[in-house]
Amino acid sequence: MPPTNRQQRGHPLHVPDQLDHDRSKSPSPASSSEPEDPHPVLIPFQMEPNIMGLYCVYPTRPTLAPEGNLTLERVTDAPTLDSDQAAAHGVHPGLSMPEISARHLFDGFSNHTSGVLMAWHYLGTNSNSGVDVNRLAGFLSSDPRCSLTHLSGFNFTCKMKLLDKYIEDKSNPFREEYGWHQSTITGVHHHSLTDIITHVFESDVSQSFNMMPFDQFWTTPDHQTVRVFGEAYASPALMEAYEEINALPLDPGDNLERVVASLMVWSDATHLANFGDASLWLFYVYFSNQSKYT
């Protein structure tokens, strides 16, 4: 997507004296008869100020600038608000994987009640206490799918072997065909970050990514210049990373744009059912190349 008309009215800066953060400067090359390695030349490019007086300074002219297409409707698409652009927004699917619902939680066991009992075991302490027994009673009494007849002939060792067999079977939702890999930590499955980055950058959602970081400023009514921080791609850290990879030598015939895949990782607990406190700690990856308002 080429820059918008407003963005095309920007202009290159030969001396970016308004940038208020230090740029790393290459040392003067030592005299040598060998030619220097080719590397891209970055000429700073300043956008026109918007109606609020905000403007961006890119390290060079951007080939993709989603910031120039932001509107009020595009950042206020809550279901409680009326918006003509609501239909333009959609959920972008991630890596392909089977549909998993609550009914799949105990597929590894012979019946639902056995799965609940095993969940109680793993959620408890090493020594059963009154709290653990109360938790078990809550599990069994609050779930209409539990039945004492399911526990006839229950054997803990057999259930453990059944669960291990289910995990090893390729029919379970964590099979490698859907991008899952067994971690070095027993019981932990994960996706390859390289696979995630490749999949996302090859999808249409990447059109909303800021492939090039920028410095953002605001011109006050009394003509003062103030540095503005609002997004990860307008941070000094991402700018430094972008300049670092673009300072690397180019291979012969390499004219591809170099961009930084900016990842933010965090973890949080999620409940597995409407009863009890069974939960998992999931790790999430967010691409901060995309606006937090998207």
Residue of higher predicted confidence among 214 and 80:
214
CA distances from 20 to 11, 110, 217, 227 (A): 19, 65, 10, 8
Residue of higher predicted confidence among 34 and 70:
70
CB 253 within 8 A of CB 242: no
**Does the pTM exceed 0.95?**
no
- Give the model's pLDDT for residue 7: 44
For residues 171-189, give the mean pLDDT.
74
What are 195-214's pLDDT values in tens digits? 889 988 988 888 889 999 99
- Give the model's pLDDT for residue 170: 67
Q: What's the first-to-final CA gap in the chain, in angstroms?
A: 17
Quote the CA–CA distance of 193 and 197 in Å, as a whole number.
Answer: 6
Model confidence band, residue 31 (pLDDT cutoffs 50, 70, 90) = very low
Task: Reduce the secondary structure of 158-199 to three states and give it as a string.
Answer: HHHHHHHHHHHCCCCCCCHHHCEEECCCCCCEEECHHHHHHH
CB 259 within 8 A of CB 211: yes
Which of 250, 242, 251 minimizes the C-alpha distance to 288?
Answer: 242
Model confidence band, residue 119 (pLDDT cutoffs 50, 70, 90) = confident
- The yes-or-no verdict on residue 2 having pLDDT over 70 is no
CB 239 within 8 A of CB 58: no
> Which pair of structure tokens corresponds to residue 70?
């932001």
* Contact residues for 206 (Cβ-Cβ < 8 A; gap 6+): 200
Burial class of residue 241 in the structure, from the number of CB atoms within 10 Å of its CB (0-12 exposed, 13-18 middle, 19+ buried): middle
Scan for tokens 């059944």, then name that residue.
162
